Amino acid sequence: MKKDGIETVAAIDVGSNSIRMVIAQIKGDCSVEILEELNKPTDIGRDTFSTGRIEVETIYEVSDILKGYSNLMNDYKIKTYHAVATSGIREAQNRQFVLEQIRIRTGILVDIISSAEERFYTYKVLKERLTDSNRIYDEGSLIIDIGSGGVEISVYQKGELKFTNNIKAGSLRLREMLSDLEKLTLDFPSILEEFIESKIYMFRPIIKKLELKNFIVLGGEIKFLAKDFIKKSDFKQMYSLIREMSSEKIKNKYRIPEERAELLLPSVILCNSFLNMTKADIINIPVVSLRHGLLADIVDQRFDTTRKMDFLNDIESVVWNIAKKYKIDEKHSAYVEDLALFIFDSTWRVHRMEEKDRLYIRVASILHDIGKYININNDDFYGYIIIKSENIMGFSKREMNLIANIVRYHGEDNPNHQHESYGELNYKDKITIAKLSAILKLAEGLDISHKQKIEKFEITTSGKEIIFKYKTPADTLLEEWSFSKGVSFFEEVMGYRPVMRRKG
């Protein structure tokens, strides 16, 4: 922050059908004042979802838009910004070339974020935009975020985030994928309904069983139908009308920009399909966007906000639900999590890692045994496979790969450059995996019996040794043996040798 407590920052969302920027001032009391908002249409999504590549003319167009944004940021003397790209660039085969041309022509560095990160940023501002949000989250709610490329699904129950998922069936993607079929039928809405059902049918029994009373829709074109909320009965009437209307009629009736009018049909079909899974009488339509979520995240990085802690709790809730799905020993995983975090915190001067690394080992500790669900004899490897396939809110693909590798090497195997998943990583990520897996090896070893025998721990450093002083009336011969198997690797990575010493 600057000396006067105020800093001007920017957030840029390079989306599939538009490029948006918001400029705002962050103040010392965590408040945010919006100064300017800009929105320019783009064909990124049309190119990617139809051909798999972004055309050269579109790259020129995107670069010109972002050059204008860059000039405006210079006028404001902005030093802090976060620019992200979603599915339109994320799924393009030539995405690296696109990002490099943007960097050279505009000076703007654009991060490609995963669907889980996109959801994480968007939800940052959701609660504060909902009326009576605590009641909504406690009663149970289904949230869908309709993007151009995909739909993000989240379920909250009793105030906790139960699960999240992503379906590649966004409004623009659906239009591009099924454009040929639209020319062959007079009942395109029915084709859309059937195709969408083929993508979401597996969620129907899960969500209906929860009897969720609240339904929240973000993104898409639903915002053109109503402000803040719409009654279920009114939406159903609109739905029936829109099914029979052309894009031209939709544009005129609802005063929607031409490029968005043809996306309203897939948006309302998606909305209707998920609404039918709930017991909601009202559709909540809060004004929430990715760019405002990015601003909120910049604030959270500056200050230890309540929102920041709430989202850490949401992440932990999702991780525990994944762990339970694979029938892990919950007491053991919780104990290993506590041990790993205690070791991490107590040996900071040895490893000098960051706050985000602490979150990685926390997640890895909870999930370290999930591979046993598939194969008890090769659980480390199968744990790695499972975690890599998961989509946990707030984590990029790179971060999920880090966590997966920490789990892979928490047992007998050590990081190996001949393993493709590890050997191709950059230096920093390899070191992160090595240090955190070394800590997890010790934590797992200290509860190898799954009996949580050790009651109290103290960790001190003496010379080149890290001394684990513990107190317990139980026989810990097995734990000492298992702990010793991780000693050499820890010493090799950290430069200090762990030693167990019983107190009293």
Distance from C-alpha of 8 to C-alpha of 210, rounded to nearest angstrom: 44
Distance from C-alpha of 54 to C-alpha of 322, rounded to nearest angstrom: 36
Distance from C-alpha of 112 to C-alpha of 118, rounded to nearest angstrom: 10
Give every strand in the sheet of 214-219, ordered side by side: 160-167, 151-157, 141-146, 214-219, 282-285, 228-231
CA 418, 421, 423, 428 torsion: positive or negative?
negative
CB neighbour burial string for 467-484, b if at least 16 within 10 angstroms, e if fewer: bbebebeeebeebeebbe
Using a 10 angstrom Cβ sphere, with 0-12 exposed, 13-18 middle and 19 or more buried, the burial of residue 421 is middle
Please, which residues have CB within 8 angstroms of residue 14's CB and are 6 or more apart in sequence? 42, 44, 62, 66, 83, 84, 85, 86, 88, 89, 110
Distance from C-alpha of 456 to C-alpha of 374, rounded to nearest angstrom: 34
Tokens of 146: 């309709």
DSSP 283-346: EEE----HHHHHHHHHHHHHS--HHHHHHHHHHHHHHHHHHHHTT--HHHHHHHHHHHHHHHHH
Backbone φ and ψ of 349, nearest 5°: -65, -15
DSSP 215-264: EEEEETTGGGT-SEEEEHHHHHHHHHHHHT--HHHHHHHHT--HHHHHHH
Max Cα separation, the chain? 83
pLDDT averaged per 10 residues, the chain (length 504): 74 95 92 94 93 96 97 96 96 96 97 90 86 88 91 90 87 88 87 93 92 91 88 94 90 85 91 96 92 93 84 90 94 97 96 95 97 93 94 90 96 86 89 97 96 90 93 93 96 96 82
Pairing of strands 151-157, 141-146: antiparallel
The vertex-239 CA angle with 234 and 241, nearest 5°, equals 100
Residue by residue, what is the 3-state secondary structure of 153-219?
Answer: EEEEECCEEEEEEEECCCHHHHHHHCHHHHCCCCCHHHHHHHHHHHHHHHHHHHHHHHCCCEEEEEE
Tokens of 91: 């799924």
- Check: CB of residue 113 under 8 Å from CB of residue 86: yes
**CA atoms within 13 A of residue 490's CA, in its CB half-sphere:** 27
- Check: CB of residue 279 under 8 Å from CB of residue 211: yes
The type of residue at 422 is: Y
The type of residue at 327 is: K
**Residue 456 confidence (pLDDT):** 82
Pairing of strands 497-502, 456-462: unpaired
Give every strand in the sheet of 7-14, ordered side by side: 32-41, 18-26, 7-14, 80-85, 110-112
Backbone φ and ψ of 311, nearest 5°: -75, -30
| Domains in the chain, CATH or no CATH each | 7-115 (3.30.420.40), 126-287 (3.30.420.150), 304-502 (1.10.3210.10)
Its pTM stands at: 0.81
DSSP 64-99: HHHHHHHHHHHHTT--EEEEEE-HHHHT-TTHHHHH
Task: Give Cα 381 distance to the centre of its chain.
Answer: 23
SS3 at position 474: coil
92 in the Ramachandran plot: left (φ > 0), alpha (ψ -120 to 50) or beta? beta
Distance from C-alpha of 268 to C-alpha of 242, rounded to nearest angstrom: 8
Distance from C-alpha of 115 to C-alpha of 416, rounded to nearest angstrom: 30
